[in-house]
Chains A and B, each alone.
Chain A
């Protein structure tokens, strides 16, 4: 190889290494767990919920969404999902232990799939814990929706300036020292706001004191690596529409191996190719682009 072609390939390898620097996998949340305070979360005790849907009303009022007519809309008759206009919904389930009401909203994962999917950091795990969406960053690719195992982010398909709509755990209210609107509105203390480690203690104490009232499982303790929103229940969670097959691995782990392989490939592939090119050189070849 002469000097010119060496410089050429060295240049290619160098620029490849530069590009590799921009795709390093990043471990964010784990360090935060150690160096910062615990994330905040909510504990939902489904044995206490009376299905009054005051949380739905409070949520809609706090975020400028259409306020549901709780008294007359008969919404509990159907199984509902959250939507672009409803960040939280309450569903009714008939179980072996009677009627159970379950509030549904974003789980605010410890390591959120949506945030690891987002290529602009629009879906963002705040240092306090809530997962928020930032309008000025989002390009509307909807990969967060593909990634979210709870199918929470909702997209405004009928808008020319579409937004992703989801519960942000009232991050704006938290900044002002208030608790989330739904928690403040709950008349029966089915919802409790606090740091996750404290909420875990409270949940365990309730199970310990009333072992006959609860299943011995706190949903959100281990699911997808742990969520900031926790649930207590009298019946197994699969009877309440929860997915119990999601595993305990944080979702970003599934792509970590691939992301780590990127810098390795960027380093090794050009090196191999330079070597191969050198070995396959035949006398008379110029190595340049040409057309026979």
Chain B
């Protein structure tokens, strides 16, 4: 047992450690900082205006378009992009695909931050955010509401992802005993997290089931939840490829050369998974189109826009992924990943904004302030991501003692 004096000393040491870690590492005047800092500051000012004068002061939202860019892009698209975390934890911890173990930490951190920031952006969009505790504390449970389910799942999933990531924090802080306890929670948390993810990724699609009379029939289908779930798989995989490629360049000094090489193999593997998921998705889209007898829309401008999304940014990247994997061209897989991300943005914005009230006389366009605040959210997230990666063993090797813990566990098991 630790005595009180030891405890006080430990806490003191830990606070000193925290203080030293708060200092910036690396250069301050990088191109990224020079671009992002003014936007973050401008966004912060706009957030103040939004709360001082109401949503109408900064957004183009209207009675006809109650959900705009903050919901359509930040939340609906952002959560799809964060889908990589549940796919990879499933692959590594349930299917035991050890090949992907090196990217687990970065992916889970990305997922956690995406949920914190993009779902957090939801708070800006709420007209009466002080009542957000109502669906949580239980004085008003709207069981009938898909949004109730989505809100609870966001919250629980953030906790799950934090637990999944927590051994990294423990390794950083040197909390050996705590790390052992937290690492023991991982498998159960992964199972819980994957279950939550399947439900709220599809739940985001289910939200729009109630907008039957407003969404263009080419996009409205009772299968929206399944389409959202399947597309979140390849959205997440593409995001890992995209984000990982950038990380491996920016944080190259943290990754040992051996793992640099293995990343190409990982990209090819992820590309294969994305190709399969995208083909299933495309096939399902065709089935829905045929079964819905939607021939009558052929020739309509909306039909061509639909084709841009489904052919240009689903089928084409799907074929690029396939070809890239077959010819072992990492570059082609990366191009496919970017095209897929564009396709996901198109799809989510189509359902939530563009094809929503498609026949309206006053179509909605996001205001500059809505875009600046969105950029603020993204840039702040990247700042936090960088802060953590520069300090904690996310891309870097774990400390020696943590590897030792794992070895001893292995002997016991």
Inter-subunit contact A143/B187 (CB<8 Å): no
Chain B contacts for A120, CB-based, 8 A: 131, 134-135, 140, 142
When chains A and B are docked, how far (Å) is the Cα of A28 from the Cα of B67?
Answer: 27
Q: Which of the candidate stretches B13-21, B148-156, B369-377 sits at the interface with the other chain?
A: B148-156
Chain A contacts for B189, CB-based, 8 A: 12
Inter-subunit contact A288/B131 (CB<8 Å): no
Inter-subunit contact A252/B144 (CB<8 Å): yes
Inter-subunit contact B187/A258 (CB<8 Å): no
When chains A and B are docked, how far (Å) is the Cα of A18 from the Cα of B404?
Answer: 36
Q: Mark A12-36, 1 if CB is under 8 A from B, else 0.
A: 1101100100111110100000000
Chain B contacts for A83, CB-based, 8 A: 63
Q: Is B286 an interface residue (CB 8 A)?
A: no
User: Chain B residue with minimal CB distance to A123?
Assistant: B142
Inter-subunit contact B129/A258 (CB<8 Å): no
Chain A contacts for B142, CB-based, 8 A: 118-121
Inter-subunit contact A258/B209 (CB<8 Å): yes
CB-CB contacts below 8 Å: B162-211 with A: 164, 167-168, 182-192, 194-196, 198-199, 202-203, 206-211
Inter-subunit contact A15/B129 (CB<8 Å): no
CB-CB contacts below 8 Å: A1-21 with B: 2, 4-5, 8-9, 11-13, 15-16, 19
Inter-subunit contact B135/A291 (CB<8 Å): no
CB-CB contacts below 8 Å: A85-115 with B: 113, 115
When chains A and B are docked, how far (Å) is the Cα of A141 from the Cα of B143?
Answer: 16
Inter-subunit contact B128/A269 (CB<8 Å): no
Q: Mark B260-303, 1 if CB is under 8 A from A, else 0.
A: 00000000000000000000000000000000000000000000
Q: Is B105 an interface residue (CB 8 A)?
A: yes
Inter-subunit contact A155/B66 (CB<8 Å): yes
Interface centre among A119, A149, A245, A287 (most CB of B within 10 A): A119
Partner of A246, one of B127, B147, B213: B213
Inter-subunit contact B195/A151 (CB<8 Å): no
When chains A and B are docked, how far (Å) is the Cα of A282 from the Cα of B96?
Answer: 8
Inter-subunit contact A140/B145 (CB<8 Å): no
Chain A contacts for B139, CB-based, 8 A: 137
Chain A contacts for B391, CB-based, 8 A: none
Q: If A25-B144, A120-B134, A143-B147 touch, does A265 touch B186 (CB 8 Å cutoff)?
A: no
Inter-subunit contact B128/A288 (CB<8 Å): no
When chains A and B are docked, how far (Å) is the Cα of A8 from the Cα of B128?
Answer: 39
Inter-subunit contact B95/A280 (CB<8 Å): yes
When chains A and B are docked, how far (Å) is the Cα of A40 from the Cα of B202?
Answer: 37
Chain A contacts for B230, CB-based, 8 A: none
Inter-subunit contact A157/B55 (CB<8 Å): yes
A24: min CB distance to chain B, Å:
6
When chains A and B are docked, how far (Å) is the Cα of A169 from the Cα of B199?
Answer: 37
CB-CB contacts below 8 Å: B208-222 with A: 208-214, 222
When chains A and B are docked, how far (Å) is the Cα of A156 from the Cα of B402?
Answer: 55
When chains A and B are docked, how far (Å) is the Cα of A266 from the Cα of B149?
Answer: 12
B413: min CB distance to chain A, Å:
5
When chains A and B are docked, how far (Å) is the Cα of A116 from the Cα of B206?
Answer: 13
When chains A and B are docked, how far (Å) is the Cα of A270 from the Cα of B102?
Answer: 25
User: Chain B residue with minimal CB distance to A276?
Assistant: B94
Chain B contacts for A149, CB-based, 8 A: 212-214
User: Chain A residue with minimal CB distance to B213?
Assistant: A149
Q: If A28-B144, A266-B195 touch, does A156 touch B54 (CB 8 Å cutoff)?
A: yes
Other than the given A22-B143, A121-B140, 4 more pairs (CB < 8 A) read A117-B146, A117-B147, A121-B142, A149-B212
When A and B form their complex, which 4 residue pairs have the shortest distance between CB atoms, in order from nearest? A140-B127, A157-B56, A12-B188, A140-B128
CB-defined A-B contacts under 8 Å, sample of 12: A13-B191, A19-B156, A118-B145, A118-B147, A142-B127, A143-B207, A155-B66, A158-B54, A273-B191, A281-B96, A285-B96, A289-B167
Residues on A close to B: CB < 8 A?
Answer: 2, 4-5, 8-9, 11-13, 15-16, 19, 22-26, 28, 81, 83, 113, 115-122, 136-143, 145-147, 149, 151, 154-162, 243, 245-247, 251-252, 254-255, 257-259, 262, 265-266, 269-270, 273-274, 276-277, 280-282, 284-292
